[in-house]
Amino acid sequence: MAKHVRFQQGDGGDVMGHLKEDIPLVIVRPTIVTSTYKEPFPGWAEGVRTIDSLAVGYGKGRITCFLGNPKTIIDAIPADMVVNAMIVAMVAHANQPNETIYHVGSSVSNPLELGSIQDYGQRYFTKHPWINKEGRPVIVGEVKMLNSMDSFKRYLAIHYLLPLKGLQIVNTACCQYFESLYVELRRKIKFVMRLVELYGPYLFFKGYYDDMNSEILRRAAVESGVETDIFCFDPKVINWADYFMNIHLPGAVNYFIYYKADVTGEDHQMLLHSKWINSSVV
């Protein structure tokens, strides 16, 4: 899927380059877009996706092992910085019949390691545990990181698939007495496998996205008197620990509870967990 997306983006850029004629063309290519840094308010996001799925799954106790190299750089950028970069780029290239591509990301200017995201998630959900349907806090622990697909499948088979098969046999012999437990464990395994399938190509990616054009645009904006505190798109200002602990993770959980409660039927959980959200944002 990741390869298909990259090819589609490349083809789209080529087509626009051929058809633009004398029209100014600016292509902005953000990396992993996360919740807002400042505007319209910190932590805003439309939907739970990308690394949010991992965070919410971990907080709910569904992820105890995963695939990836803790040293892998996860190239992320807050949504409002992407918008700010687009606005500044449009102004800078008005009436200029040229083509410019801006990579808007953080892997070069302010790299974020996968292991750090794991640490932030564990610290956040240890301090602000998810409250399950029964009204009890979900206790999270350290995630076992496997450094290859083979080791991941082997670990999953030994620690989860074989015990699940045994539980299935016992459940059948006991007239479905353990059905709810069996269904819940099977759901957790399928959830982790689906995430690995979706994000596996990114978890060992060793590349960095060159954002030199974006850096040149930032410097030009400062020199021309643009209010860079309002139209900020400089990833170097982000303190990742503060961002994840006090902005992104509370925002992701907030969205999941308030906008998904009617779908999941977790109204009780929504009310219980809201106090953690309100108290966690500094």
CA 153 – CA 240 distance, rounded (Å):
31
CA 145, 149, 154, 157 dihedral sign is positive
- pLDDT tens string, the chain, 282 residues long: the values are 444 445 455 555 556 655 556 677 888 999 889 999 999 899 888 766 667 778 888 888 888 888 888 888 989 999 999 999 999 998 888 877 778 889 999 999 999 998 899 899 999 999 998 888 888 898 888 888 888 888 888 888 888 888 888 888 888 888 888 888 888 888 888 878 887 877 777 777 777 888 899 999 999 888 888 787 889 999 999 999 999 999 999 988 877 665 554 444 443 333 333 333 333 333
CB environment 186-211: b (16+ within 10 A), e (fewer): eebeeebeebbeebbebbeeeeebeb
CA angle, 102 as apex, 86 and 95 as ends, to 5°? 60
CA 153 – CA 111 distance, rounded (Å):
29
* HEC string for 26-42: EEEEECEEECCCCCCCC
Tokens coding 157: 């088979």
List the beta strands (DSSP E) in 60-211: 65-67, 76-78, 99-104, 144-146
Task: Tell me how far apart the 2 most distant CA atoms of the chain are, in Å.
Answer: 76
